[in-house]
Structure 1
Amino acid sequence: MPAATNGWRYLLVVKDDMCGYVRLYPGADATSQATASALLDWFGLIDVVATWVSMVQSALNHQPADRLGGVPPITVFLALPASTQLRALFHLRLMEQATVDWLAKSQQQQLQAVNSAHDRMHKDCLASAAAKRDRKRKQRENN
């Protein structure tokens, strides 16, 4: 980010995902001392966090955002299509790139298989419940 007239050049963003509260901490330098100071201020406002989840900005840019009508920020601000966070793998020794375009298709196939299994399970449960009801009904009629 460009430097402000007072020397601030960095911006630390701290967000509470549970309530959506966001606080911006501008600073002249991006040091651990500035981060610790911002977090201590945050703890004074909110509370000490039990579990920290580190997020990568690119993952955030490609996730649909409720505040943007369910559209990913990268699409809203840059008119680029959102993609999976894992687009390519690199082999460090061979310096080869392997695309993972199959990942989205594989995920869709897996979700369809889970959905089909879920539907079959519900049909089996309905059939089992109907059979039990019929048996109980016949028992009551015979008594």
Structure 2
Amino acid sequence: MNTGNGFSYTLTRTLDAPADRVWRAWTTPDEYAHWAYAAPGSVEMDVRPGGAWKATVVTPDGDRFPLTGSYLEVAEDRLLVVGMDVPGKSEPAAMRVELDPDGPRTRIVVRQTCDTAEERDAAEEGSGMLLDGLAAFLAGRAAG
């Protein structure tokens, strides 16, 4: 696991959904595609340590970016460490997603360490967008 050289970020949110619901949203391909800006049908997940994942992210202006990686650590309803393949690097970039149940709500913490400040800033922005999308998805599901 590449820990970078100290350019880290941590994002924390409290979601209005129980941890098992947040887990399903993050680990079920169809649900993930709805909130993570992925092209429909592009998400594949083998959610186990060493299992592969892939998704094609679609930006607001329509650009498509295929992403691949593997799961480095998995503890159902509690922890996902997602390795993301980075062109030109031998080690994956690792994003740690921690779920802390609090009754009907869940505290989610996303952490990542990158090689440069620029990579950290881009990764932090992307993770913030993911958490915004996840929160909106869960709110919509709860209301529906």
TM-score scaled to structure 1, two decimals?
Answer: 0.23
Flag the structure with larger Rg. Answer: 1
Higher helix share: 1
When the two structures are superposed, what TM-score results if normalisation uses the length of structure 2?
0.23
Larger relative contact order (C-alpha < 8 A, sep ≥ 6)?
2
Greater share of strand residues, 1 or 2? 2
